[in-house]
Structure 1
């Protein structure tokens, strides 16, 4: 059971060093047209796709039977809320874990709110309406062999987009290398699933809630909770070695309100969708899950429209 903790340590250290963040990558693109950090996300997905395709080729059941359920309403509303929440909170769950590990009190409060809200959605007072939202579903079936080929081709296409311009920008190479290393955690996780009781893919929002539940009900930790703890510890260890720890409090009441609302929306959206932004854009998309692919688009829309609100425009404006 130590393997998830070790993966989390690696994830946290790399994410802290590279400032890996789905929200940051999307906001850089939407606000400034910069694809530098977006290439890091694409590199993570390319490596995750390639690793998943290789495991499928070797007979690993990463695509299951080729059947996938698409609860379309939850797949749209959950990531949309999560995308809005991570924008208000200044980062996705992974980024807030890193910030908390480096000494951010507001990131810690955001994680607490997000985790408790996710618990309420998955097994608490909001579980019944969440189950109703997940009910409208379509079952999609594709041959696993076709999925393997599609994953390999998608990995090649992403790699081409990521690598061709990388020679021109030194910083872009750092983001790409960090993203590629983080993408490796996805096929590595698939390999570990058979060895112990692990969730089917690495994600952070539900394990965060699980961690809070374990703390409140007694000793013991789920594999996903160990991943969360490892990520916190990895960021903290890197901060110690680089002396980059810095206490971060709230600037004003508005800053507090934005982080509280951001944590609430991430908990609602992540609990409904069952994954965080990394689980959508990298882990789930690498498995070619329709809900993850649709959810990644909804996540980006939620981020973009919330940025427009923060600029003083309507959420529904173009």
Structure 2
């Protein structure tokens, strides 16, 4: 819950949004809008790599290093997620934050996203998903891309962090950048905390960090079946983000009821949320779970998914601009 509250406050106060960076780039505004995402990677990458190098984290316990995975369903899911993110004008994390500020469009998107995600993960579509994910599999390295070069891993991590830092800081210390830096620290901190908790021999758990697609579906399920169930980390995360963003919006006097302007807007959000829900499960994460948390692990799958999400998002936004 504390993790979620911190994220909600930070993301709402800093207006943190991964999608905005992609949209601004498609509009010819350069990388200024991406400073938040770059700032998050600038902090999360070296800290996560340090934990992997020192064996505080084990790749075999992380979802980002599967022994094999279907390349085409993963790519399809990432592309669908990128399209959906632009249609709804926000990724899952952003929708959670906006919902807490009185945005009814975001609430609608969250319900569609959460239901479609869990239907794909554990519901009506789960069996078909599992069958499809067993086709066209690739066996990629089950370790950080930096670990593939053990003699130069620290040097490569340093170079990568420096390059990311250069692009993150070149536009100055903006509110978005500060938010990104704090969120990057939060990603690494959650890895550390869950790794420590998971080391209990009597009740071991796999280390996790920030992600928002499957957790939304899990939260909706928990709300309906809460009697006798203990809230998981994912449920506490979503609840905490909503609470933190609400508190921040009230303090900053930014809480305001908003809703759809037209039927077309309603349809756009429905399709976008549906694509993000299904796509996020197929891609094993979202613009937070893969493009920040997974990216920081150095997973080759996460790098590929991030590239596809950003590319499909860019092309979708460019197309939407032309249609206007």
8 Å contact from structure 2 (residues 4, 240) kept in 1: yes
Give deviations 1:190-211, integer Å, cap 9, x for gaps: 1122305466332011000000
2:17 matches 1:21: yes
Q: What corresponds to 2:84 in structure 1?
A: 85
Q: Deviations over 1:21-64 (max 9, x none)?
A: 11111101111323122121011012111111221233312434
Match of 1:45 in 2: 41
Q: Is 2:239 aligned against 1:208? A: no
Per residue, is there more helix in 1 or in 2? 1
The residue correspondences of 1:111-126 to structure 2 (distance < 5 A) are 111-126=110-125
- Please list, as runs of the form range in 1=range in 2, the aligned pairs for 1:59-70 lying within 5 A after superposition: 59-64=55-60, 68-70=67-69
Q: State whether residues 60 and 142 of structure 2, in contact with CA within 8 Å, keep that contact through their aligned partners in structure 1.
A: no
Report the 3-state secondary structure (helix = DSSP H, G, I; strand = E; otherwise coil) of the residue aligned with 1:277: coil
C-alpha separation between the residues in 1 aligned to 2:207 and 2:286? 13
Instruction: Measure, in 2, the Cα distance between the counterparts of 1:80 and 1:142.
Output: 23
Distance, in Å, in 1 between the alignment partners of 2:163 and 2:68 is: 26
Whole-angstrom CA distance in 2 between matches of 1:141 and 1:83: 25
| 1:12 and 2:8 aligned | yes
Separation in structure 1 between the aligned mates of residue 263 and residue 143 of structure 2, nearest angstrom = 53
Q: What displacement does 1:251 show?
A: 0.3
| 2:258 partner SS | coil
Moved over 6 A (4+): none
Counterparts of 1:106 and 1:291 in 2: how far apart (Å)? 32
Correspondent of 1:218 among 226, 230, 233:
226
- The alpha-carbon distance between structure 1 residues 261 and 239, as it changes in their structure 2 partners (threshold 3 A), is same
Alignment coverage as a number of residue pairs: 304
Contact 2:77 2:278 in 1 (8 A): yes
Asked if the contact 2:25/2:314 (under 8 Å) is kept, the reply is no
Instruction: Measure the CA separation in 2 of the matches of 1:233 and 1:302.
Output: 32
| Equivalent in the alignment of 1:181 | 182
Per the alignment, in what secondary structure is the counterpart of residue 139 of structure 2? strand
Deviation at 1:280, TM superposition (A): 1.3
After TM superposition, the structure 1 = structure 2 runs for residues 306-317 of structure 1, keeping only pairs within 5 Å, are 306-312=316-322
CA RMSD of aligned residues (A): 2.1
Q: Name the SS of the counterpart of 1:299 in structure 2.
A: helix
Q: Which runs of 5+ in 2 are unaligned?
A: 199-204
Whether the aligned pair in 2 keeps the contact of 1:68 and 1:290 (CA below 8 Å) is no
| Aligned position for 1:139 | 139
Please show how residues 259-298 of structure 1 align to structure 2 within 5 Å: 259-298=269-308
Contact in 2 for aligned 1:72/1:138 (Cα 8 Å): yes
Q: CA deviation at 1:17?
A: 1.3
Equivalent residue for 2:171? 166
Q: TM-score, normalised by structure 1?
A: 0.89
Choose which of 238, 255, 260 in structure 2 pairs with 1:250.
260
Q: Deviations over 1:86-123 (max 9, x none)?
A: 11101101111111000001100100000000011001
Partner of 2:103: 104
- Give the drift of 1:295: 0.7
Q: In 2, distance between residues paired with 1:201 and 1:74? A: 23
Q: Distance in 1 between matches of 2:222 and 2:295?
A: 29
Unaligned runs of 5+ in 1: 314-318
